[in-house]
Amino acid sequence: MNLVEALEILKQATPEDTHPLRTFLACGFTPLHLQTFLVAHLRERLPQQRFEVKTGLFGDVAGSIERLPSAGCDILAVVIEWQDLDPRLGIRNLGGWRAADLPDIVRSASLAAARLEEALRRSSAFVPISVCMPTLPLPPLFTTPTRQASSYELQLRQLVASFATAISSESSIRVLNTQRLDELSPLHARLDVQSDLMAGFPYKLPHASAIAELLAALIQNPTPKKGLITDLDDTLWAGILGEVGTEGISWDLDQHTHEHGLYQQFLGSLASAGVLIAVASKNDPALVEKAFERKDLILSKANVYPFEVHWSRKSESVQRILKTWNIGPEAVVFIDDSPMEVAEVKTAFPEIECIVFPNDDYQAIWDLLKRMRDLFGKNAISEEDSIRLKSIRGAGALRESRDGAGASLDDFLQAADASIRFTFGKQAADTRAFELINKTNQFNLNGKRLTDAAWKNYLNDPEAFVMTANYEDKFGPLGKISVLLGRIRGKSIRVESWVMSCRAFSRRIEHQTLKQLFEKFDAEEICFDYQATPRNGPLQEFFAQLLGAPLPAELCFSRAAFSEKSPSLFHRVEEAVNG
Amino acid sequence: MDEMETRLVRCFSSVFPDLAAEQIRTASMETVPAWDSLAAVTLVAVLQEEFGLQINLMDLPELVSFVAVQNYVRKHDTGS
């Protein structure tokens, strides 16, 4: 994006009725074009959103962060440059580059980094933060020739790396990846000496745009994809299984098919991070079964579920896989070496990200792996990520058991040996609860999404409570599957948000949740901020069954009415406070 | 209006979105309240980008009106 394009984006009208996202850009230089690019990139990513941007004091990035009042902004973007650690590391200051000054520069940079770290940690309690570490070349102040790294220079780089490592462990702080920035903006094309000296803005325009682009992406934090459907022949491995047999397929350096090994290794990595992997292959099921018994296969069979192996259309396989996973096509990536198969699936499911596997193009494999990391990458791996596949397999077993036994639902649920742990507590680090609220569609009270800042404000509100539920039965654990946000007013409870993972349907967890809510707060009535959405049919059905009537505009249940309508519940219930 | 003038008007319009094309041609620091030092630096950046020029910020005091900017660009534009 160039500056004219950025200014044109800023000229476009934004919806007046939306609450603006208050963005604070903290940097030690004149924000000038960086501010323009940041807002333009944010608006490009979030066109329905208005942004109000404030900036801090020139030369005082740490002070700007320290003075930020709690609830003073919704987004904090911090851009640190070397001169923020010590002014002598910039070119606008003439404080001395004598050899004798170098130890002191390192010392003072270390103190400045510690102050910044403390300020960022404190602010992260109330606002999500995106941080860009120094990007400009260090000036030639060291006594070694520029081809040789000075010990002092290395110490400075080490302290910045330590600083970045320390803050990256905070769940509300995201650190911009300098490797990605290096790809977009070469080091030699970053510093604008004239602009720095004359206007206090040190960046060349393309560099400012590159930083802003990555910061905007960090701030937006797009929802990662959840599942990957892969082909087998000439994709997961090289060779056509039906022609060369199980010993003829390969994925190694010796046979020049190593790219397929890399792909398998990458899929194993995704699976270990909770991404669902399924196979859709036109193949002989018995042969595929045998191929997956090969001990040298890098992607374990245990990481793949389900297998759709037959000769029908791929789109039919995809349809069944989506049903088994119970997720929407927009959350899925499909990979196949055949452009025709990819086109067939894309036609049936336009929302699916469809990718042709690049056979015999080594550079393209590298690019594919990077692209997939961007599609599936997440801030942290949760406990739920590690049990997702197991719980989906369990749900499949549960369906088969229920459908095949011929017993009543009551009998079935009684035999499921289910337990639910309810937690009443507000933990900022509970990223799973925040994630559930923002990604659940079907059992969702009103479709309301929360920004990082709104979530933090909610947690800091003494009148509000958060109730979460963890579920487990004999088919396996489902992890944290429900989040309910509300407020208590005497004997009445107002529920403002309520979501439940679709993996947890048909177990009466929603009934148990309301029962516990009545009991926990000794409430006589629960009212809901209910809103019908195009996708919350399962929630509407639940309420309609409880009411035995169409849903009214103001949705409330008395304790007596709920008790009368609620079916038998067989869960063992535990309660935990603050997890 | 020649092509260079059209591009120049577009640059001014990016920096001063409230000005109509006719107002842009008569614009000066005195007549446009939004033309402050920040806008001047932004205008220079946009001109550098559009015309591939390397404008010395020491020349800023010269660039006080649309006509002055037009003359400056004509003098320094090498056709890139």
- What tokens does A115 get? 């102050």
For B31-79, what is each residue's pLDDT tens digit? Answer: 999 999 889 999 999 999 999 888 888 888 889 999 999 999 988 876 5
Q: How many interchain CB pairs under 8 A, A with B?
A: 40
User: Based on the domain organization, do A414 and A346 belong to the same domain?
Assistant: no
**Class (C level, CATH) for B3-76:** mainly alpha
Give me the DSSP letters along A220-236.
H-PPPP-EEEE--BTTT
Q: Could you list the residue range(s) of the whole structural domain that residue A60 is in?
A: 3-220
Give the sign of the dihedral formed by CA A39, CA A42, CA A46, CA A49. Answer: negative
User: Based on the domain organization, do A367 and A512 belong to the same domain?
Assistant: no
Nearest CA in chain A to B12: A4
User: Based on the domain organization, do A425 and A518 belong to the same domain?
Assistant: yes
Side-chain half-sphere exposure of A59, counting CA atoms within 13 A: 10
Give strand pairing partners of A423. A468, A576
Residues of A in contact with B49 (CB under 8 A): 2-4, 205
DSSP A68: P
Among A380-389, A429-438, A508-517, B54-63, the range scoring the smallest mean pLDDT is A380-389
User: Based on the domain organization, do A187 and A235 belong to the same domain?
Assistant: no
Q: Which residues of A165-188 are buried (b: 16+ CB within 10 A; e: fewer)?
A: eebeebebbbbbebeebeeebeee
- For residues A179-195, average pLDDT: 95
Q: Determine the Cα–Cα distance for residues A350 and A244; give it in Å rounded to an integer.
A: 34
Q: What does the angle CA A374 – CA A380 – CA A382 come to, to the nearest 5 degrees?
A: 125
For A38-49, what is each residue's pLDDT tens digit? Answer: 999 999 998 888
B17, A33: Cβ pair inside 8 Å?
A: no
For A453-499, what is each residue's pLDDT tens digit? Answer: 788 888 888 889 999 999 988 877 888 889 999 999 889 999 999 99
A389 inside domain: no
Write down the pLDDT at residue A21. 87
Three-state secondary structure of A79-140: ECCHHHHCHHHCCCCCCCCCHHHHHHHHHHHHHHHHHHHHHHHHHCCCCCEEEECCCCCCCC
Query: Does an H or E element contain A181, and which?
Result: helix A178-184
- What tokens does A219 get? 């701030």
% of chain A surpassing 90 pLDDT? 64
Write down the pLDDT at residue B4. 86
Q: Strand, coil or helix: what is A575?
A: strand
Q: Determine the Cα–Cα distance for residues A446 and A289; give it in Å rounded to an integer.
A: 44
C-beta separation of A264 from A298 below 8 A = yes
A47 inside domain: yes
Whether chain A has a CB inside 8 Å of the CB on B15: the answer is yes
Domain of A208, CATH number, reads 3.40.50.1110
Q: Determine the Cα–Cα distance for residues A556 and A562; give it in Å rounded to an integer.
A: 10
Domain of A361, CATH number, reads 3.40.50.1000
User: Based on the domain organization, do A274 and A182 belong to the same domain?
Assistant: no
Whether chain A has a CB inside 8 Å of the CB on B71: the answer is no
C-beta separation of A356 from A329 below 8 A = no
Give me the DSSP letters along A511-571.
HHHHHHHHHHTT-SEEEE-----TT-HHHHHHHHHHHTSPPPSSEEEEHHHHHHH------
Provide the pLDDT confidence category of residue A406 given band limits of 50, 70 and 90.
low
Nearest CA in chain A to B47: A4
- For residues A245-258, average pLDDT: 92
Domain of A457, CATH number, reads 3.40.630.30
- For residues B17-26, average pLDDT: 89
User: Based on the domain organization, do A460 and A547 belong to the same domain?
Assistant: yes
Q: Determine the Cα–Cα distance for residues A35 and A143; give it in Å rounded to an integer.
A: 36
Across chain A, what does the average pLDDT equal?
90
User: Based on the domain organization, do A194 and A235 belong to the same domain?
Assistant: no
A388 inside domain: no
User: Based on the domain organization, do A208 and A232 belong to the same domain?
Assistant: no
Query: Does an H or E element contain A376, and which?
Result: helix A362-376
Write down the pLDDT at residue A579. 44
Last residue of a domain, one of A170, A190, A220: A220
Among A278-292, A296-310, A468-482, the range scoring the smallest mean pLDDT is A468-482
- For residues A22-49, average pLDDT: 93
A4, B50: Cβ pair inside 8 Å?
A: yes
B14, A198: Cβ pair inside 8 Å?
A: no
Write down the pLDDT at residue A221. 86
B38, A7: Cβ pair inside 8 Å?
A: no
C-beta separation of A238 from A251 below 8 A = yes
Give strand pairing partners of A487. A464, A494
Q: Determine the Cα–Cα distance for residues A521 and A528; give it in Å rounded to an integer.
A: 16
Give strand pairing partners of A55. A25
C-beta separation of A94 from A147 below 8 A = no
C-beta separation of A271 from A284 below 8 A = no
Query: Does an H or E element contain A468, and which?
Result: strand A464-473
User: Based on the domain organization, do A447 and A426 belong to the same domain?
Assistant: yes
Substitution target from A1, A2, A3, A193 for chain B, most B beta carbons within 10 A: A3
Sequence-distant (6+) residues with CB within 8 A of A71 are A126, A453, A457, A460
Chain A residues at the B interface, defined by Cβ less than 8 Å, are: 2-4, 7-8, 10-11, 32-33, 36, 194-195, 198-199, 201, 205
C-beta separation of A459 from A126 below 8 A = no
Last residue of a domain, one of A220, A248, A266: A220
Last residue of a domain, one of A220, A250, A266: A220
Closest of A541, A576, A577, A565 to residue A419, by C-alpha: A576
Q: How far is B65 from chain A (nearest CA, A)?
A: 19
User: Based on the domain organization, do A176 and A91 belong to the same domain?
Assistant: yes
Q: What is the ipTM of this complex?
A: 0.79
A32, B14: Cβ pair inside 8 Å?
A: no
For A336-366, what is each residue's pLDDT tens digit? Answer: 999 999 999 999 999 999 999 998 788 999 9
A464-473 and A129-132 beta bridge pairing: unpaired
A385 inside domain: no
Q: Determine the Cα–Cα distance for residues A336 and A334; give it in Å rounded to an integer.
A: 7
Q: Determine the Cα–Cα distance for residues A219 and A174; give it in Å rounded to an integer.
A: 8
Q: How far is A102 from chain B (nearest CA, A)?
A: 32
C-beta separation of A172 from A127 below 8 A = yes
Q: Determine the Cα–Cα distance for residues A42 and A27; give it in Å rounded to an integer.
A: 18
A172 inside domain: yes
Substitution target from B6, B11, B49 for chain A, most A beta carbons within 10 A: B49
Domain ranges of chain B: 3-76
Nearest CA in chain A to B7: A4
Among A300-314, A447-461, A506-520, the range scoring the smallest mean pLDDT is A447-461
Domain count, chain A: 3
User: Based on the domain organization, do A216 and A232 belong to the same domain?
Assistant: no
Closest of A548, A509, A511 to residue A526, by C-alpha: A511
Q: Determine the Cα–Cα distance for residues A192 and A137; give it in Å rounded to an integer.
A: 11
Is residue A395 pLDDT above 90, yes or no? no
Is residue A72 pLDDT above 80, yes or no? no
User: Based on the domain organization, do A365 and A407 belong to the same domain?
Assistant: no
Residues of A in contact with B34 (CB under 8 A): none
Residue type, A555: L
Residues of B in contact with A194 (CB under 8 A): 56-57
C-beta separation of A123 from A64 below 8 A = no
Whether chain A has a CB inside 8 Å of the CB on B19: the answer is no
Task: Please tell me which of the candidates A4, A32, A201 has its beta carbon nearest to residue B46.
Answer: A4
Closest of A73, A58, A67 to residue A27, by C-alpha: A58
B42, A32: Cβ pair inside 8 Å?
A: yes
Is residue B5 pLDDT above 80, yes or no? yes
A15 inside domain: yes
- For residues A499-507, average pLDDT: 84
